[in-house]
A and B are shown apart, each in its own frame.
Chain A
């Protein structure tokens, strides 16, 4: 067994496990931190951004670099179509992958980089919500950033001149960065995904079973349990023990694994998500009451549902029920509609509503009542009566593309408005950097429901794995994740070998063959019999069927020479002469032209006589040695 780590972002993991001649990719996370090095891509041309001064490094004049870099408030940005950091493609040959197992929609966005134009021939498994919501995320990105989407050019030259650029660009490793895939590639890639349900056993080429079990993090989020007859590997990615809208985590299925691979823990360990949600409601309430508008840069699904539920209730309590809530995203309508038909994937409380029958999430009722509006973009007809004060949920959380860019440009100069960051993927100061100077109030209320280090440590203690594997980023986590479990640390681009050793394979013994064997008791509680079986291998499953032959005969312990001589005499082979040798003795049968070398653990017969003498010898030996 071997474990490769292909992603340097512990929250957007990508691992490859090689086991039983299979290559299994676990998650396919797309790191989007690279976006922050780029200038925002506004949906409508922005004069401010266009007017930013060009930057050229001191003492370097490179005409090719012309206009690729811009400066804003002392920071340098790349003026180009933003790029992402997909999993490493040089460590494992993607065409050799057998399966890709996806844990949740935040960890699948690099899928087209792995499956398209790489010769990939395997299968991809994900739960239905993961596929659908992942599709929303990808379609949203594709709408903004897919080739041909924006007018911005693709800058390249700056990557050659990193050494002369100021930080943080100087520390970036942009050679591996890629522009987003085309929409066609995205659709082709998603078409490969096979939908699975929780606790469904997926047979992976007969060699093992993979089972997604609920992880409690978001709709359809799953941890994967890989099981063969003797080994168990648990992959825990993006799990939550908090009570939110998805089905709670299933811990029982993860217990007692030979290897536990733990990743995508919280990115904001210092913030309690419950408090943050409370803070957000307060900030929003204060801003709205003062007549300001609130902007929340969010993804089109996930915590958004909780935000809508809590914020609408809070505003109602605060007498602000008239304030409209807007969700702006190319996937807004689908995301809001879809969340309400996933009854089988939500928490028990939400599920009970479906039996009434009512929608599991209150946002359907909000939309019917007209308080919640959604639109593909700001220019949409649905927003004809857009009014302030209001709360707008819009992407992208990095503030580099989508409607949020335009709204921030619009509201940035007024201190009456507020922007509240809830997604933990991007540091908010960096996200705001290209918009500086800003007067708008900025609040940081990251809501990351993934396990924090204390919860993860508790989980590890409860699950009792034989071995633990972690991305190296968690090595210094306090409190430590695993004090008493052997731990493997995984670094981007490196391979490690867990201690799991295979000893046996499971087969099926057919009844007829079993009936033939007559096991003898060799020791208390242990019986054995020689067995020869025809081995049938079908779909990597083994069956033992009757075959000719008696099985491996086994003799043991030391040979008692006088007993052998007596036995030989009984068989009619007499006149044995015994000579003591160096490490044993030699029995000489001169009449039969035969020598028997007897050692402690071996007997060697040099028999030049007739075959019947040999048979007699075999019988005599069998009589003197315990055997089966």
Chain B
């Protein structure tokens, strides 16, 4: 039995550093190539030496597929292509290709210039890496080579996020990346057709959560922000430059407009305009509503949201600030946090997930004091709110996706072990399919049924169809073809007897048997034939029995009645060698009838 092997190098029972090795049909595919935000050492990148301890990596990997631009999915790509030396094909969608280099550059600056790290990739490496990327569009079927085919589906997690269907021969896998099954303010919901893959590799960030309705969460968010600024507090919302930020901006913008609020809202990075430009340019990737109205009003032209300047940190009075990065692990959002954290009237709203090891993660777990590298200790008195706005599918969404695409197996990644365990049980119970959740470095092997392509002769099929259609319709009736399997040049075909004879160049030798039964039945022979037909129809239910000119035929068995009107009839039963079973059965039947 052919099998599919999956080894997570990252994201196995963990969130962050997504990197999954998939091998099937002799092809090795790397799904995502992310970095871990919680680490600053070599654990940050996937362990590429797992693939080949030494020597070139390109020969071991047939292609790399990046699902979306978040750094935990593409952060290690320049490292792999420029420093480890991978030169093979890399695939991602157009928006991902446009936006990923910006985030990579951002991250590189923080790592190198703020933290002073060396042995990190350079700006030029990011550019060179992106040049090697092949951009794909949704639903385009891309042949990586003669056997390996990939196809992207809309995932709705961020702009340009995609799920990938991957096929080698008759085996197929769907890798979801991160996805979202409920449409939000700027993106549509993930969609996939009933492609029935052998394996679905799904993220499971919110494996146990069933989130309350989106509307409630939004109202809650707006209420909290409004209350805080009314009391003169400052609201810090750490976000990543692209993605959730745009959704929250649209949300605040419309609320500010409706309530006619005047408190300043800032978006704290030079990228704002550029980031929003990408959204304008790739508006075909947003949801239906934005796409329909963009000619009249572009949703990404904000009136109330202004760019932020560092000097505003110490400004008095209420304000709302969106600052990057989203997990408070470095950069401006961390700086602002340090300044604002000690005051009670301020508020921190974490709209997304934080990986272990980041400041964001510590605070969300209730830390009241945070210590930094330079021994600086910050007391956290500000209100801390966690609101899950990150666009991942919840348990319901994951189950829905499984229902959509009907996989034969499911494998969970990108989630926490305990939660996965729960979801795994649920999937196995509900869908009666196997579910796996390998840890990093652990290989899962999945067996798939063998399916071999074969060419069936049309003559054979047509003859079968004629027989089948001659009978009353019955969807449960088995349809059977009898032919000769022919193997030539490693290709299979199913031929009928004459075709195989032509193919080999031989003359067929037909063997027939004929027996006679004498039957004392005065009257015209046609009458006798009718009688026999009734008898046969009774005994041979499900067979097609035809009668013409006094000859009865059942498959290739012929029955002929001869004799004068008032004398004994001779019933000839004749059949070919291959219908021996049927022929002898009918003969036996007629003989017993006579006696």
Contact = CB atoms under 8 A, between A and B. Distances in A.
B138 A197 contact: yes
B513 interface: yes
A552 B509 contact: no
Interface stretch (A63-71, A92-100, A234-242, A506-514): A506-514
A200 interface: yes
B466 interface: no
Contacts of A60: none
B450 A607 contact: no
A75 B283 CA distance: 50
Contact of B501 (A343, A530, A556, A608): A556
A600 B507 CA distance: 9
Nearest to A595: B514
A341 B509 contact: no
B540 interface: no
Interface in B548-595: 577-578, 580, 584, 588
A359 interface: yes
A240 B251 CA distance: 45
B295 A359 contact: no
A526 B487 CA distance: 6
A357 B479 CA distance: 59
Interface in A529-561: 529-537, 542, 544, 547, 549, 551-559
Interface string A477-518: 000000000000000000000000011111111110010010
B506 A557 contact: yes
Interface in B73-98: 94, 97-98
B508 interface: yes
A525 B489 CA distance: 7
B484 A547 contact: no
A534 B577 contact: no
A532 B493 contact: no
B136 to A, nearest CB: 9
A557 B140 contact: no
B497 A552 contact: yes
A556 B509 CA distance: 4
A557 B461 contact: no
A559 B511 CA distance: 11
Given A197-B139, A199-B140, A528-B484, A614 B454 contact: no
Contact of A535 (B464, B512, B588): B464
A557 B505 CA distance: 10
A603 interface: yes
Contact of B449 (A211, A511, A528): A511
A625 interface: yes
Interface in B51-83: none
Q: Is the interface of A mostly helix, strand, loop or mixed?
A: mixed
B451 A522 contact: no
Contacts of B489: 525
A355 B92 CA distance: 14
Given A536-B479, A549-B480, A614-B513, A343 B282 contact: yes
B479 A507 contact: no
A522 B501 CA distance: 11
Nearest to B490: A525
A342 B588 CA distance: 76
B316 interface: no
A525 B504 CA distance: 10
Nearest to B584: A611
Contacts of B278: 357
Interface in B384-416: none
A73 B453 CA distance: 70
Contacts of B483: 530-533, 551-552
A527 interface: yes
A607 B584 CA distance: 12
Interface stretch (A174-182, A330-338, A447-455): A330-338
A467 to B, nearest CB: 20
Interface string B485-501: 11111001110110011
A128 B138 CA distance: 11
Contact of A503 (B449, B457, B512, B584): B457
Contacts of A536: 479
B487 A528 contact: yes
Contacts of B508: 554-556, 601
Contacts of A271: none
A306 interface: no
Given A558-B509, A608-B516, A552 B578 contact: yes
B458 interface: yes
Contact of A527 (B295, B486, B515): B486
A198 interface: yes
Contacts of B488: 525-527
A197 B98 contact: no
B482 A549 contact: yes
A19 interface: no
Contact of A505 (B294, B455, B507, B512): B455
A40 to B, nearest CB: 29
A600 B137 CA distance: 64
B445 interface: no
Contact of A342 (B98, B284, B451, B514): B284
Contacts of A279: none
Given A531-B485, A544-B456, A602 B480 contact: no
Contact of A506 (B142, B455, B504): B455
A504 B493 contact: yes
Contact of A603 (B137, B482, B510): B510
Given A531-B485, A534-B478, A602 B295 contact: no
A126 B515 CA distance: 65
B94 A343 contact: yes
A511 B1 contact: yes
Given A508-B451, A511-B449, A605-B514, A197 B137 contact: yes
B26 to A, nearest CB: 18
Contact of A602 (B274, B509, B516): B509
Contacts of B151: 200
A528 B478 contact: no
| Cβ-closest 9 pairs across A and B | A511-B450, A504-B455, A200-B139, A531-B485, A535-B479, A556-B506, A509-B454, A199-B140, A509-B452
Given A528-B484, A607-B514, 7 more contacts: A229-B455, A341-B282, A504-B458, A531-B485, A556-B508, A602-B512, A604-B514
23 contacts: A199-B141, A342-B284, A343-B282, A355-B98, A359-B281, A505-B461, A506-B456, A509-B451, A517-B485, A523-B505, A530-B485, A533-B483, A535-B481, A544-B481, A551-B485, A555-B510, A556-B501, A558-B507, A559-B509, A604-B512, A605-B512, A618-B511, A621-B511
